[in-house]
């Protein structure tokens, strides 16, 4: 809802009620491995919506934005359910949230205190290279410490996971900053002290699929 609302502020015609109904069934499609078929249904349904409205000139753009929101936020984040179904699934969910949000905190505090060199000022003026490295180091440390409860997972795998997740999480944060800058807003929502839900999960969205595929194909979990 927040994602589509951001683009509707720029005058892009998106029908949020339809999108919310379609998005509701994505987790079920993901868990039944029918997500590709269901996304064909989504694209068709959204295009049909533009048949009935006097906004055909925005059909392609509106459909692209709507489907992007469903893929980027709902589909990717639905991999949390797939992680949950794995061996030690709840621990892997805890692990992912812990090291990602811990990395966010590390980036914030180190960046606030020591940040001088801007990371990508045109996208996010407050982010610095010092903060980015601080977040990465924090993520890697928390990943290695997680060997305490992730039984049977080697430190090598936790090191690799920590490095990749540390980078991917920050890329997710930058992507959301790019979107907000493009539409000219500071926060995705109006939750006091948090901004919006998208602001909270931005660094988790891309990490969920990565953790699932790494644990499945590299660690052999099922």
Q: Could you read off the pLDDT of 153-164 as tens digits, one per residue?
A: 999 999 999 999
| C-alpha distances out from residue 33 to 26, 36, 79, 82, 211, Å | 10, 8, 11, 10, 17
Q: Could you read off the pLDDT of 36-50 as tens digits, one per residue?
A: 999 999 999 998 888
CA–CA gap between residue 62 and residue 53 (Å, rounded):
12
| C-alpha distances out from residue 208 to 67, 83, 86, 151, 184, Å | 19, 8, 13, 20, 28
State pTM to two decimals. 0.91
**Integer distance in angstroms from the first to the last C-alpha of the chain?**
33
What pLDDT does residue 124 have? 87
* Pick from 83, 69, 34: nearest CA to 197: 69
């Amino acid at each position: 809802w927040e994602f589509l609302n951001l683009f509707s502020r720029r005058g892009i015609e998106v029908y949020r009620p339809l999108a919310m109904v379609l998005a509701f069934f994505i987790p079920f499609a993901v868990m039944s491995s029918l997500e590709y078929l269901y996304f064909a249904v989504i694209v068709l349904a959204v295009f049909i919506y533009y048949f009935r409205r006097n906004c055909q000139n925005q059909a392609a753009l509106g459909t692209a934005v709507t489907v992007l929101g469903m893929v980027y936020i709902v589909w990717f984040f639905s991999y949390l359910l797939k992680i949950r179904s794995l061996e030690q699934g709840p621990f892997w969910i805890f692990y992912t949230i812990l090291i990602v949000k811990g990395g966010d905190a590390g980036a914030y505090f180190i960046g606030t205190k020591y940040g001088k060199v801007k990371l990508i000022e045109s996208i996010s003026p407050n982010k610095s290279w010092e903060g980015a490295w601080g977040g990465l180091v924090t993520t890697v440390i928390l990943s290695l410490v997680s060997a305490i409860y992730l039984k049977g997972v080697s430190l090598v795998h936790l090191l690799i996971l920590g490095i990749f997740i540390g980078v991917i999480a920050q890329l997710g944060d930058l992507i959301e900053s790019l979107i907000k800058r493009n539409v000219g807003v500071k926060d995705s929502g109006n939750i006091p002290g948090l901004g919006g839900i998208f602001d909270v999960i931005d660094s988790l969205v891309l990490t969920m699929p990565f953790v699932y595929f790494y644990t499945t194909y590299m660690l052999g979990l099922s």
